[in-house]
Structure formats: structure tokens, C-alpha cells
Chain A
Amino acid sequence: MTDTHTTTGADAVPSLRIRGLSKTFGETEVLTSIDLDVKKGEFLTLLGPSGSGKTTLLRIIAGFETASGGELLLDGTDISVLKPSERKLGMVFQNYALFPHLTVAENIAYGLKVRKYDRGALRRRVDHMLEVVGLGHLAARKPTQLSGGQQQRVALARALAYEPEILLMDEPLGALDRSLRLQMEQEIKQVHRETGTTVIYVTHDQEEALVLSDRVAIMNQGVFAGLDTPMNLFTRPENSFVARFFSDSNVLDATLADGLLQIAGQEIPVESPLHGDVKVAVRPARAALSTAADPATGEGPALRLPAVVHEAHLLGETEQIGLRREDGTPFTVRRPVGSGGPVHEGDQATIIVPPAGMTVMAD
């Protein structure tokens, strides 16, 4: 992993520092020796399939679970011994967890009341938060009278009202439909920019992670498979899991010696410090197709893989073509709609991958 974070200098003070954190439920190890520094003001996403440990990690940070081992420091203070109420955190839940017997304004005021804000300060703060999430006109409503998106905005305002050190969000958009989700992504981003709060965000949706995050920690089976900016994870994955999970990449077996990649019986020159058995990641959009009806005129050295078209479907602006290589392994190609001739199931085709489209990984 290379240090290519966009936030540097004074901003780089870690707000939350996690060292060697582990968690076992009975015999099962859910988290294995997690190390993580979350910088002040950073938007960090924990991304992973279900069961990868991301929610458990969030719940340990929040104080709902205790770690089996390791350190949890907030601004240098050990918070692992503190109760949830003493950790100065805010949390947004997937099911919103709004108090049904309180109005929108009272929900937002809850944390302020507990913290004994005086009347005037409390009212100003509630009004400000209502304005931030654009719900001033619904202040007197009960949560059940609001739509899902509005409820999530209240949850966000409520968690930010008392200016927590870190805002934890547990799949907050999971219950919303797609168009609303896209809109809420922008709003969360906006609120993050305006408040500058440190955010730790849990999701299993890689698009959400791409759009929102300064950095993404990709979790798999209780460890970080990758921890980097979305751009680096997307363009330069460090292992097969990250390549497959984050950018839907194809992963090929190869060997590397003296700057020459031996792959599918061909030799391609690449720049990589690795040698021996390696994996090669190819994003679906970095491969081209050559068919009898539509022969591609590739220039320069490129990997050419004979294959048969298995399926083709439209994603929107792009179309996705699933192929089977000669040895039966699947390969996916994506290209702009209309950029090539039509393909049909059973068509013979050649997959063409230029050297620039390959990322060499150790495993």
C-alpha cells in the first residue's frame, strides 16, 4: 500500500487510532488484528460483503460491543473502557432509530438536552441543524409522518447536533430506493463538507463508497484487504479481492520475470518490481473485443485471448459482455453503447488487453 492520501500536513493528525483490534464470538474470529488511523475531518468508509466484520468494527467503536483485544484511542485517549454515552460519538442507524414519541425538533434536541445545553443555545442549535438538512418546515411532525429520506435526514441532524468527534453511519441508505439513495449521497457529502465532522461509514455498496469517501477500507473475513483512496483502489488494486470487489476486475494468472509477463502463452512487457507467480487485474472497461464482424485494429503489443460470447446486456451508457475463455474461465468486457458491432451468444471473439490496462498484483 502506498501513501497517497490527499489529506496531509496538519490535517493528518489521527482522530481515531486503532491498533491490533480483534474480536471473537465463541470460536469464530470476526476481526483479526485491525490497524486503522482515521484523520480529523476524514470520510472513511468500511466496505465489505456481509459477514466481513465491518458492522462489528463499527459497533466496537460505538461501544455496543467490547473488543477481545487491541487499542481504541480517540485523540490519544483510550475510549475502549468508556460507555457509549461517554465516547462523544454520533451514530446514524440503518433503520433510523428515531424516537417515535418525540417530534423532529425534539429528536434533534435529545442529545443537547442530555448535555444540558441552555434553552437559547439548544433552540439555536436545533434550528441550525433543521436548516442544514432542510427540514425546518417539518420540525413539529412526528417521525412516522415523514418519508424514508426525511427520516434519515432527521437521524443525521440528530447525530450531528451536539458536534460529536466522530459520526458513525451504519448502512444509512440501505433502506432507500436508488434515486433517493443517489440524492442522499450528495446531501451527506454536502453536510460532511459543511460540518467538517470525521465520518466512519459502513456500507456494502461500492458505488456509495466511491462517491462519498476520502478513503475506503475494504474488509474481507475480518481483515482489511485494502485501505486507500477510492481512486487508488479502483485503478491500482493491491490484490485479487480488492480488484474483484471494488472494480469488478477480471483476474488472470501469470508469471513475471525480467519485466516480461508470461500470460496465456504470450509475453507482454510490463513495469513491475514483482517476479514469479503473479495475478493480473483487468477492469472490464480496459479490454476491447475483436469479432469477425467487427475486427479491431489494435496497435502495439497487447494480450489477445480467444473467447466465446456467453451473454450480453445493457447497463445504461455501457454494455456488459460476458465471455468464456478457451479454458472455461469467465471474462467480462464493458464498452460504451454502440462503440462496437452487435455481439450474440456463441460468437467467437478475441479479448484485447493493452499493457496499460493491466495491474500486476502479488496475489
Chain B
Amino acid sequence: MSELMNRPARVIDGASRVLGGLLVTAAVAFLLLPAALVLVLSFGTGNRVQFPPQGWGLDRYTEIFSSGNWGAPTLLSFEIAFYTAVGALAVGLPLVFALKRSLLPGRQFLEGLAFAPIVIPISAYAVGMYAVFSQLDLIGTKHGIVIAHIAHALPMVVIVLSTSLEQIKPELELAAMTMGASRSRAWTGITFRLLAPAVLSAFLFGFISSFDEAVFITFLGGAGLITLPKYIFDSVQYAVDPAITAMATLLMLGVTFLMLLGTALRKDKK
């Protein structure tokens, strides 16, 4: 009896499992294939990007480091990403405490505001920023780009910090205070200490979001400011420089490493 009832269920289960497996495999392949392809192509030789490559070697990598074209954009990207991460934390940290630990009136509105950059289409947002920045003479300036990138990075930073702060119970601070710790000692020794991995993680995510950003820089960078993503876009506009495969690979590996680090830091507390 039970066998009869179980059998059809098991057949459906098996079929759906195969189908599900295929779907997952297809999705993963679709997501990873371009990345894998770039990785393979970066070790090719010759003047054109083609598959399979004419030969194998580290030509593309040596070219990046010897040509001198990539150095300045890379440095600028690092610089802007660093200030963006610092700035996003400077805005995000107090914001998160106001949202989660205070009774500030209108804090829901503030939270909505912080997440606005996610909701608004990025090119529309960039057009709006262009209008504002041109009034303020911020077009083509580093601090202008940093400001735009901070707005862009803020949602991620706020999410990382607030999910972590929500897990740190306010009672911990109160417990420390009843045990004789001053408010500042309880805050630094307990709350901030527990939040520290999330702060570092938020820093990395802020850094990545700026380092990888190509839309705002195109709208707001003017002629003079060329970050790494901008340089890659520019270089494929007229002719494809094969070296970008090597650059893309490095970028990919670097960002993946930072992402993994940031994620590991978030989980570290548990």
C-alpha cells in the first residue's frame, strides 16, 4: 500500500531533481563562462582577441606592466575607491546607529533615503547628478566622483552594518555598564568591538563598489579623470587591446578576493 503511494511521488521527485540540476548547471555555466573565457584568453598571445588563442604566454600581463598606460588609471581607481570606502563609512556608521539604536523622528525616511540609489536606475541617477554637479563645478573633479561613489556605495554599507548591529543586543552594553564600565568603555569594548568585522567588511564592499564603477565616471569624470573601468571601456571603443583580458582577469581576481574577505569577516562573529 505504502509502496504504491510512494512510487509516483518518487518518480516526480527524481524527474524534478534532474531538471533542477540541469537548470542550476546552466545558470552557473552562464554566469561563469565569460569569466572563465577571459581567464583563458588572458594567457593567449597575438594581436587579436580570439578563441582559441594563437599561442600561449604571459604577453598580455607583461604588456600591462610595461606599457605604462594602465598605471595611472589603476592608481586613480585605488585612490577614489579608498576615499569612497572611508566616506561611506563616515556617513553609514552614524546613520546605522541612528536607525537602529535611537528614537530619532523620521529615521524610517532616512533609511529610505539611504537605499534610494538602489531603486533609482543608475544612468538616470547619474544624469541627475550631472545636473547638480555642473552647478557646483564638481564635474571632472576627484572629490565629485568620490561623493557620487559614496552615494552609490551607501546602501551596501548600510545593509552590512545594520544586519550586524541588529545582532548585537543593546543589553550587552547595559550589562557592561552595570558591571562598572563607563558608557564609552562599554561602547568601544563591547558594541564597537563586536561591530568591527562588519565595519571592515563594509569598507571592502564600499571599496569594491567604487573600484568597479563605470557609469558615474563616464557621466561625471569629464575628460581628465580616467579610472580603470573607464579606461577599459575607452580601450574597446575603437579597437580591442588584447591586454584588457589580462587586466580584466586581475580585476576579477582582486575583486573576488576582496568579496570573499568581506563575506568571511561578516560571518566571523558567529
Q: Do A and B come from one complex?
A: yes
Q: Quick check: B172 and A90 within 8 Å, CB to CB?
A: no
CB of A84 within 8 A of CB of B169, answer no
Q: How far is the CA of A90 from the CA of B175 in the complex (A)?
A: 8
Q: A99-B172, A100-B269 are in contact. Are A85 and B193 (CB under 8 A)?
A: no
* Contact of B179 with A by CB under 8 A: yes
A91 to B171, CA, bound (A): 10
A90 with B269: CB separation less than 8 A: no
Give residues of chain B (14-49) contacting chain A, Cβ–Cβ below 8 Å.
none
0/1 interface trace, chain B 168-208, chain A, CB 8 Å (1 if under):
01011011111111110110001001100000000000000
Contacts of B175 in A (CB 8 A): 91, 93, 97, 99, 158
Binds B, one of A39-47, A108-116, A271-279, A303-311: A108-116
> CB distance A91 to B181 under 8 Å?
no
CA distance A86 to B182 in the complex (A): 9
User: For residue B177, which residue of chain A has the nearest CB?
Assistant: A84
Interchain CB contact under 8 A, B174 and A97: yes
Interface pair A162/B180, CB less than 8 Å apart: yes
CB distance from A361 to the nearest CB of B (A): 39
- A83 contacts B181, C-beta separation under 8 Å: no
> Which residues of B lie under 8 Å from residue A93 when comparing CB positions?
171, 174-175
Partner of A84, one of B172, B178, B269: B178
A162 with B171, Cβ < 8 A, contacts A100-B194, A100-B269, A114-B185 known: no
A95-B171, A100-B269 are known contacts. Are A90 and B178 too (CB-CB below 8 A)?
yes
Contact A83 B185 (CB under 8 A): no
Inter-subunit contact A115/B180 (CB<8 Å): yes
CB<8 Å pairs between A and B, sample of 15: A62-B178, A63-B178, A64-B174, A84-B177, A84-B178, A85-B180, A85-B183, A93-B171, A99-B190, A111-B180, A114-B176, A114-B179, A114-B185, A159-B179, A162-B180
Tell me if A83 and B177 are in contact (CB < 8 A). yes
Task: Tell me whether A89 is interfacial, beta carbon within 8 Å.
Answer: yes
- Please indicate the chain B residues that have their CB under 8 angstroms from the CB of A83 in the complex: 177, 182-183
Q: Which of B152-172 contact A (CB under 8 A)?
A: 169, 171-172
- Interface of B: prevailing SS: helix
A162 contact set on B, CB distance < 8 A: 179-180
A-chain residues with CB within 8 Å of residue B194 when the two chains form the complex: 100-101
Q: Which of A87-105 contact B (CB under 8 A)?
A: 87, 89-91, 93, 95, 97, 99-101
Bound CA–CA A83/B182 (angstroms): 9
Chain A residue at minimal CB-CB distance from B181: A114
- Cβ of B181: which chain A residues have Cβ within 8 Å of it? 85, 110, 114
Given the contacts A99-B190, A100-B269, A101-B194, A85 and B182 also touching, CB distance less than 8 Å:
yes
B174 touches A158 (CB 8 A): no
A window 131-157: CB within 8 A of B: 144
Residue of A nearest to B268 (CB): A101
**Chain A residues with Cβ under 8 A from B193's Cβ?**
101
Interface centre among A63, A83, A114, A144 (most CB of B within 10 A): A114
CA distance A158 to B171 in the complex (A): 14
A95-B169 CB under 8 A given contacts A83-B177, A101-B194: yes
Name A97's contact: one of B171, B183, B185, B269 (CB within 8 Å).
B171
Of A100, A114, A168, the contact of B180 (CB 8 Å cutoff): A114
Among A85, A144, A164, the one with the most B-chain Cβ atoms within 10 Å of its Cβ is A85
Shortest CB–CB separation between residue B102 and chain A, in angstroms?
15
- Min CB–CB distance A231 → chain B (angstroms): 32
Q: Is B179 a contact partner of A158 (Cβ separation < 8 A)?
A: yes
When distances are taken between beta carbons in the complex, the residues of chain B under 8 Å from A101 are 193-194, 269
Q: What's the nearest-Cβ distance from chain A to residue B263, in Å?
A: 19
- Contact between A85 and B269, CB atoms less than 8 A apart: no
Contact indicator B171/A85 (Cβ below 8 Å)? no
On whether A89 and B178 interact (CB within 8 A), knowing A101-B193, A101-B194, the answer reads yes
Contact string against B for A residues 331-343, beta-carbon threshold 8 Å, 1 for contact and 0 otherwise: 0000000000000
Known pairs A100-B269, A101-B193 / 9 extra A-B pairs, C-beta < 8 Å: A62-B178, A83-B182, A95-B171, A99-B175, A99-B190, A110-B181, A114-B185, A144-B270, A162-B179
Min C-beta distance of B66 to chain A, whole Å: 48
Q: How far is the CB of A208 from chain B (nearest CB, A)?
A: 21
* Chain A residue at minimal CB-CB distance from B167: A100
**Residues of chain B contacted by A91 (CB below 8 angstroms):** 174-175, 178
B190 partner residues in chain A, CB cutoff 8 A: 99
Report Cα–Cα, A168/B178, bound state, in Å.
Answer: 10
CA of A273 to CA of B169, assembled, Å = 53
B73 to chain A, nearest CB (A): 41
Within 8 A of A (CB), among B89-116: none
Cα distance, A180 to B87, chains bound together (Å): 50
* B166 nearest CB across to chain A (Å): 14
CB-based nearest A residue for B186: A85
Residue pair A110, B176 in contact (C-beta under 8 Å): yes
Q: A110 and B177: CB pair below 8 A?
A: no
Given A97-B172, A100-B269, A114-B185, answer yes or no on A87-B179 (Cβ-Cβ < 8 Å).
Answer: no
Interface string of A279-321 (1 = CB under 8 A from B): 0000000000000000000000000000000000000000000
Determine the chain B residues whose CB is within 8 A of the CB of A90 once the complex forms: 178-179
Nearest-CB distance from B174 to chain A (Å)?
6
